[in-house]
Structure formats: C-alpha cells, structure tokens
Amino acid sequence: MISKQLKNKLRRYKYLLKWYLQYHFQKVESYKNRKPFDVSESQNLVLVPHADDEWIGNSQLLLKKNTIVYYFQFLGNNYNETNKTVRRNELIELKNKIGFELVVSNSYEDYSDLKELLNNKSISNIFIPFPIDWHKEHIKVNTIFHHILSGLQIKPNLFFYHISVPLPIGFEINYMQMDKSDLHFKQTIFADIYKSQYNTPIKRLNYQLRLNAKGSECYATENFVELSFEDWTDLLNFVNDNYDTKIKELIYYIDDLGKIREKSNQIYRDWKNNN
C-alpha cells in the first residue's frame, strides 16, 4: 500500500511536470501595456490577509526597505491559537530577515490601529490584494479597507497585487523585474520560513511570475495594477455581487497556468461590459 507521504510526493511531481509542460507549450496571451515600476523613494504600505501573501505578491517591494506590512491575521479555514501563533511568528521571522516594518492587527473587529497608521504616517502607496480572487478573505481585506479609506481625508495611490489569480491583460501593468537569482531567492526564503505552508505550490506561483514577463525582456516580473478609488469601488461591488456565479469557481483553475489567466481576463471583460 502506498503511504500518504508518498502519495503527496507523487502528486507534487505530477503537478511540477504539468506546470513545466504548460509553461513551455501552452499558449498564453502576453500583456500589451506595461511599464517598469519603482517606488523606492516612497513610503509604502502592504495590506496582508495571510502570512505569506506579502512575500508571494510583493517580494521585490519588501526588499526596498521602505515598506510597512499590516497583517490582518486571517487564518483561512484554520482559526485556532496555535496556528495563529505559528503564522505570526513566521511573518516576524521574514520581517527580521528582510528588514521591513510590521504592524500586526490586534482584533478582527477593530482596525483603529490601521486608521492611526494611515493618519500618522505619510503613506504614498498602498498595496492591496487584487479583488478578482477566489479567496474570500482576500476580498474581505478590500471591503474592510474600502470602508476605512472612505472615512479618511487622505488620497494615497492604490496598487493591487495578485496572489494565485494573475492580473487581467486589459489593465496597464506596473511591474518589478526579477532575474533568475531573484526568483530562486524568493523560493528559498519561502521554503525556509513558511514551513507551515509546506503544501503551498510556490513553484507554480513562480511559473506565473515568468509568464507575467512573456513578451518582454525580463526573466520574471511581479505585477501590479493601479486603480482610482472610483474604479476600485466599482470592481469591488462587481466582485461581491458576482462572487457565487463568477468568482469562487476560480479556485478550480489555479493549477492550470493558462486557464486561470483566461478566467481572470473573462471576469475583467464581464466587469467592463457591465459598466
């Protein structure tokens, strides 16, 4: 009888082969409108639902040394004190290794610490998980922060990063370039620190970063979309209104490098056609 450990290992090898073949042989449409992105002279804030989202979507940004990470301490389907402590400690370990500032949310109901941060710091750019995403807690961060920002008198630039669902090609893309060593470093750091996330397919996510760069001279890119407050509001409303019919099914396509991009692009077109 095959052990569970061996089954999991065989499953991982199957997916590695699948992603390799998809990356090299599957047709994927490249971004038409993109530009390099440098915020090294600005004060940046990254909103993070789960410990590891900050590294998956913003590794190059965190390395700029002028970034604050606000961690909501969301735990997906595993809310218990042990998991909460493990995930928080992993993020603290990353902070100590990379050197960014970390603010850990103290409550799932009261985000006064986030309001205070926004009022007391001169934040130029805020990075938010892109709302076209199957994970409800990624969308929840958008909803919470939208409510907070609506009550403040500040107007920061709003940038959106992706985690497991690539950004649609219809947007202008702001990108941070990565070479082969950057991608290897990102994967190594993830494996060394996020041991509780052993099953997170970082290699699949890195293949998507390489597909982000398709048609450019870059080896890989971390991509971002800038939205006005009005466009963000409209998109977030669309996502919430259509979550059950269009959005939540995205989880079934994330292991297909090309199909998940097609789905993301289609939802973008549906949103645009809805206006």
pLDDT at 251: 97
The pLDDT mean for the chain works out to 93
Tell me the average pLDDT across 250-266. 96
Strands 44-48 and 101-104: unpaired
Give mean pLDDT, residues 150-163: 95
CATH superfamily of 33-274: LmbE-like (3.40.50.10320)
Q: Which H helix or E strand runs over 161?
A: strand 157-161
Within 10 angstroms of residue 267's Cβ, the number of other Cβ atoms is 20
**What is the distance between the alpha carbons of residues 255 and 268, in angstroms, rounded to a whole number?**
20
* Band of pLDDT at residue 136, cut at 50, 70 and 90: very high
pLDDT at position 110 over 90: no
Of the pLDDT bands very low, low, confident and very high (cuts 50, 70, 90), residue 24 is confident
Q: How is the chain split into domains, by residue range?
A: 33-274
- pLDDT tops 90 at residue 108: no
**Which residue in 156, 84, 141 sits closest to 111, CA to CA?**
141
Asked whether residue 250 carries a pLDDT value surpassing 80, the answer given is: yes
pLDDT digits (tens, 9 = 90+) for 28-67: 889 999 999 999 889 999 999 999 999 999 999 999 889 9
For residues 113 and 25, the model is more confident at: 113
**How many C-beta atoms surround the C-beta of residue 163 within 10 A?**
22
Give the confidence band of 15 by pLDDT, cuts at 50, 70, 90: confident
Q: What's the whole-number mean pLDDT along residues 102-119?
A: 89
CA 247/CA 229 separation, integer angstroms: 21
What pLDDT band is residue 78 in, cutting at 50, 70 and 90?
confident
Residue 168: band (very low, low, confident or very high) from pLDDT cuts 50, 70, 90? very high
Size of the chain, expressed as the number of residues it contains: 275
pLDDT at site 192: 96
Res 1: pLDDT: 58
Q: Is 73's pLDDT higher than 90?
A: yes
Segment 71-98 mean pLDDT: 94
| Cβ neighbours around 130 below 10 Å, total | 26
Q: What percent of the chain has pLDDT over 70?
A: 99
